[in-house]
Structure 1
């Protein structure tokens, strides 16, 4: 029971109530053949392409098309990577890489350092860069292949988890155990915990911002921001999703960071983290597998067990207004702290303080006025706690540091 409570508590921590809603496509309301969607790509013509465990899927307007082993030349139904380029799609899975136009399939597996495709991206020249499970980084310029690995280059790890490109054309690679690598076409520059302020050597994803900042995410919820000189690290408790694995990241044209994790979708505007999940939005799943922004600046996400979702407001004009919010001051607390609550209190269901193990240590009457509520630390050991407020809007929690 304690573990369940802890999971619910952490998945409910919001730095702002997320009021934006999504258009969600599942098997129950659309022609998508499976709710288990592993990857997503947005075409320049507006089509959305998906890789699922039931084939390759195209959404064109309101029309759904599925391509699988039974009705096309595809050698498999399960695809974990897809990138659209014109009339073609690069698609990858644990058996290799191919190109698919909706009818014909061509294999490119023999040229790779490893058959298992982990990540793929196209650069500004439409060159393909492929990260593999154990074969390093592959580059295809349309006619020839180059492979970079730990044996023939300064690449620090052969398992590539994420690829991104900066404004200067450098290739940034997030690796499984070797930290972050920047490749300028000739030289690899490596950033790890031994020579930089990076949060971890174990990384899952990387994204570049319009201003040149590099964002990386790891398996235990750690996020780093690098501006070319300084590193800023964000702990999972800063945004309230404890130890949630960062799966995918993208930065929109306004500089807003969007992060897909195993437990939530998050956004960060440089000041405030906003968290979306199944408890505070109409998302059908909180497990985000990939994020992409389409030609009209809409954010799309593929999810595990929840189909596909689209943010209803373009990211270029998105403004997330909280239904309610609260803070605690002072924080850290020596003896007492006070809740400052803004917005509609609604009907309060329960108010409780939990420790990091998920044990409830203090409760408050549901009739308590939230704004001005006094938090006493009498009898509490120094450490981290969470104040959770549940009302008819949902559940919000805040970290409380007792000293």
Structure 2
């Protein structure tokens, strides 16, 4: 009886299960639409949004598996306004959408060109537009553009501006007046550094500029750099430059003394025990003199340096602060600890009546000797001059209260480079003008080198603000 019941139950289960697997009608399958749209734009690479959602795609590209009917396509790209188009997609068809961001005038920008002074010629992306400031350039394609201005007796200058669609962008520049002063720094010229240690001029009017990052040569408007990257210089720090009568350029560095001539660099350090060369001087007969830190006066003879120091000569101090060679081949030596020393190649003379603490010196064409002095612990001192008789002090408070780093002269003037500016003493009027940042267009803090070019324009080098020129007609 029990067995029959189990069989009956088993048959029932089988019938029930089979009944569930039997298909008795037609199942309706929902059809999936595959509308497509190819989207492109000018400019391309615009980000594509579909009905407000970022698709992660950029033009040109295709969106697939879209539903028919109205869909909103928004394109976004830098500098332009977002642009939205409503498209009516047809079932299982490919559609096409092209958006030109610049077709609408609102897609273009404007540049308001202004300058000081006005009436400067305008250059747009390197090309002249035959207009002068103030002027508005209209219909400008969004993106980065370059505006340059030119004005007589002013340094031409340019500015990079970013233009956006339907937006006015300003391009204003104050042009540097080069009528009297001209500046050269790392922002407005190819000069290697704003730390200028020495400037010298050769007979071809090439300007040689020694910096803490290498040597520069300015020939007209052309700049050439000499560094450890393109020469055999062991260091980029140029302490001092001197030019000989054959336009050879002598370089004193912290790692030796070198001659640059006809693009060939030669190491002349030879037997120098201390290669930290402070300065170099060339005589009229091309005798080369140098001073190295703490070892005295050095004279180049053949391929060997003769060293004069406090033990083997009449030199009073091995730490020479300045030196110069006169037209008779005599060497004048200054020290911050002693008076002026003179060496005529045979005898040594110390001028005990000369000022002490000599930091800079220069001999004019009329044989007047000028010296700038150092007063410990103040770091400044007056300027003295000697042209026979007694030494005289130049009565000028601005020079007394400054340290005079360097001196040079023309036929008419003597120039002093100081901590706070430039002093110009007139040999004609016996008066002095002093230029500092307040009355000059240059930053004149710590003027540590001066040189005159062929036209007698005064070149100056500063410790932090690059190089500059004071033109002859305004000295």
Which TM class, normalised by the smaller chain length?
0.5 to 0.7
Is 1:202 the counterpart of 2:357 in the alignment? yes
Find the aligned partners of 1:113 and 1:253 in 2 and give their Cα distance.
Answer: 40
Cα distance, 1:229 vs structure 2: 2.2
The answer to whether residue 419 in structure 2 is matched with residue 262 in structure 1 is: yes
Match of 2:367 in 1: 212
After TM superposition, the structure 1 = structure 2 runs for residues 145-294 of structure 1, keeping only pairs within 5 Å, are 145-191=305-351, 195-196=352-353, 198-199=354-355, 201-219=356-374, 220-234=380-394, 238-241=396-399, 243-254=401-412, 256-270=413-427, 271-294=430-453
Per-residue CA deviations over 1:119-156 (Å, capped at 9, x if unaligned) read 21111111111122211111125555322111111111
Q: Secondary structure at the match of 2:437?
A: coil
In structure 1, distance between residues paired with 2:185 and 2:359: 26
**1:279 aligned counterpart, secondary structure:** helix
Relative distance call for 1:275 and 1:145 in structure 2 (3 A) is: same
How far apart, in 1, do the equivalents of 2:254 and 2:304 lie?
A: 22
User: SS at the partner of 2:274?
Assistant: coil
1:280-333, CA deviations, whole angstroms, 9 ceiling, x for partnerless residues? 1012332111111122322211111221112212xxxx465xxxxxxxxxxxxx
CA distance in 1, matches of 2:410, 2:271: 33
Q: Is the 8 A contact 1:113 1:137 kept in 2?
A: no
Counterpart of 1:43 (choices 180, 197, 202) is 202
Residue 295 and residue 127 in structure 1: after superposition, are their counterparts in 2 closer, same or farther (change >3 A)? farther
Q: Which residue of 1 aligns with 2:280?
A: 120
Q: State the Cα distance separating 1:170 from its structure 2 match.
A: 1.9
SS at match of 2:286: coil
Which of residues 208, 215, 222 in structure 2 aligns to 1:56? 215
Q: Quickly say closer, same or farther: Cα 1:212–1:92, change in 2 above 3 A.
A: same
1:98 maps to which of 250, 258, 273? 258
User: After alignment, is 150-159 or 225-234 more displaced?
Assistant: 225-234
SS of the equivalent of 2:402 reads coil
- Matched with 1:135 is 295
TM-score by length of 2: 0.57
CA distance in 2 between partners of 1:293 and 1:87 (Å): 15
Rg bigger for which structure?
A: 2
Q: Aligned partners of 1:311, 1:243: CA distance in 2, in Å?
A: 23
Higher relative contact order (CA 8 A, sep 6+): 1
Equivalent of residue 25 in structure 1, options 167, 184, 194:
184
Partner of 1:82: 241
Q: Is the 8 A contact 1:20 1:311 kept in 2?
A: no
Shift of 1:71: 2.4
Asked if 2 retains the 8 angstrom alpha-carbon contact of 1:23 and 1:310, the reply is: yes
Q: CA RMSD in A?
A: 2.2
**Is 1:299 matched up with 2:299?**
no
1:7 corresponds to: none
Paired residue for 1:110? Answer: 270
Task: Report how many aligned residue pairs link the two structures.
Answer: 290
Structure 1's unaligned 5+ residue stretches are 1-18, 321-403
Q: Distance in 2 between matches of 1:179 and 1:115?
A: 26
Q: TM-score, normalised on structure 1?
A: 0.67
Q: Could you tell me how far apart the structure 2 residues matched to 1:157 and 1:273 are?
A: 33
Moved more, 300-309 or 159-168: 159-168
User: Cα offset for 1:100?
Assistant: 2.6
Tell me the secondary structure at the aligned position of residue 270 of structure 2. Answer: helix
2:225 corresponds in structure 1 to: 66
SS at match of 1:207: strand
1:10-50 C-alpha deviation (Å, 9 max, x unpaired):
xxxxxxxxx98222111121111211111111011111111
Structure 1 CA distance, aligned partners of 2:367 and 2:404?
21
